[in-house]
């Protein structure tokens, strides 16, 4: 089945998503994300992705850029680009996303085709087009949004021959990008790659050691950079400090354990790197808007 509910994020040590999107015969998958329940944590994948805000609004984090998108807007995310979504902007209002994740070979076939060489390769190799926002006020961007939604609906309905419709709408999306987007800013590819690889190594280290006592020095050492460079890298790429990210990850892990297990709350706090229960409760309330016990009760209800 092509349409899926968004499952909890599964990534490797470099935050690369481990989920197979579609299959070898039909490398595309469509998802329905509800950010009112859980954020989409930082991750990346080789596939391309197109996302529509179906309801509410969301804060988007992509490769060092942070912005808010509202209902009716969309974004294209290139392959290998670190990204995440948060529903904290909604303050209780439902926030839903329609997303399409697809491998470029669905459209281009192999690398010897005109489709790959003329339309896909220039897009895949352009670091200045890590992502492209679409707003309905622009005519061509409105057409791009329509193509994404039609593709998603084709997956949802799965009528006879829907595979042809999915490929057609995604092909039209890539054509629109080819015709209407240029380099958004001058930036060296090597610099982009260096920053991206550094942040992936540091996120990998934090993921492996979040339950331990971590210092800024530890995080910087994991990527062989100075503490100041570590701070700059996090602020540029993730718009937060390294230790803020550690706290966010610990709270997200704790929230997941509160929902999925019946473990004692103090045990969960310790497992997620909090030795002081009062500090854990205070931090959890800061990020989730309620104490851990209430969060568990609401999730189970």
CATH of the domain at 264: 1.10.10.60
- Quick one: 137 and 216 in the same domain? no
Q: Which of 143, 162, 180 is the last residue of a domain?
A: 180
> pLDDT tens digits for 223-240?
888 898 899 888 877 778
Parent domain of 170: 3-180
Q: What is the percent of the chain with per-residue pLDDT over 90, rounded to a whole number?
A: 45
Question: What average pLDDT does this structure show over 214-220?
Answer: 93
- Quick one: 43 and 116 in the same domain? yes
pLDDT given for residue 289 in this prediction = 87
- Quick one: 115 and 245 in the same domain? no
pLDDT given for residue 28 in this prediction = 94
pLDDT over threshold 50, residue 8: yes
Q: What is the C-alpha to C-alpha distance for residues 122 and 75, in angstroms, rounded to an integer?
A: 18
- Quick one: 243 and 173 in the same domain? no
Q: What's the domain count of the chain?
A: 2
Distances (CA, A) of 84 to 7, 222, 246: 14, 22, 15
Distances (CA, A) of 102 to 14, 128, 140, 151, 169: 21, 20, 21, 11, 12
Question: What average pLDDT does this structure show over 188-208?
Answer: 74
CATH of the domain at 154: 2.60.120.280
- Quick one: 70 and 165 in the same domain? yes
- Quick one: 24 and 169 in the same domain? yes
pLDDT band at 183 (very low <50, low <70, confident <90, very high): very low
- Quick one: 94 and 222 in the same domain? no
- Quick one: 161 and 203 in the same domain? no
- Quick one: 153 and 246 in the same domain? no
- Quick one: 157 and 213 in the same domain? no
HSE at residue 231, side-chain half, CA atoms within 13 A, is 6
Neighbouring-strand partners of residue 65: 62
pLDDT over threshold 60, residue 92: yes
């Amino acid at each position: 089945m092509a349409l899926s509910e968004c499952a909890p994020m599964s990534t490797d040590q470099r935050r690369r998503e481990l989920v197979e999107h579609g299959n070898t015969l039909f490398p595309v998958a469509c998802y329905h994300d509800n950010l009112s329940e859980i954020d989409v944590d930082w991750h990346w994948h080789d596939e391309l992705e197109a996302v529509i805000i179906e309801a509410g609004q969301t804060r988007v984090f992509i490769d060092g850029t942070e912005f808010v998108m509202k209902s009716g807007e969309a974004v294209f995310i290139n392959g290998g680009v670190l990204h995440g979504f948060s529903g904290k902007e909604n303050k209780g209002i439902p926030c839903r996303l329609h997303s399409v994740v697809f491998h470029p070979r669905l459209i281009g076939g192999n690398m010897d085709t005109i489709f790959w060489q003329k339309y896909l390769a220039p897009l895949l190799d352009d670091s200045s087009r890590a992502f492209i926002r679409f707003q309905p006020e622009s005519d061509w961007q409105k057409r791009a949004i329509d193509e994404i939604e039609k593709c998603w609906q084709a997956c949802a309905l799965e009528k006879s021959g829907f595979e042809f419709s999915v490929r057609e709408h995604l092909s039209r999306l890539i054509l629109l990008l080819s015709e209407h987007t240029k380099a958004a800013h001058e930036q060296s590819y090597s610099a982009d790659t260096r920053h991206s690889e550094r942040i992936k190594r540091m996120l990998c280290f934090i993921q492996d050691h979040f339950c331990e006592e971590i210092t800024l020095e530890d995080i910087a050492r994991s990527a062989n950079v100075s503490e100041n460079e570590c701070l700059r890298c996090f602020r540029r790429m993730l718009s937060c400090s390294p230790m803020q990210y550690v706290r966010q990850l610990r709270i997200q892990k704790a929230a997941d354990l509160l929902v999925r297990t019946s473990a004692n709350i103090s045990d969960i706090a310790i497992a997620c790197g909090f030795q002081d229960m009062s500090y854990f409760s205070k931090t959890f309330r800061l990020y989730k808007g309620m104490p851990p016990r209430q969060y568990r009760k609401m999730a189970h209800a």
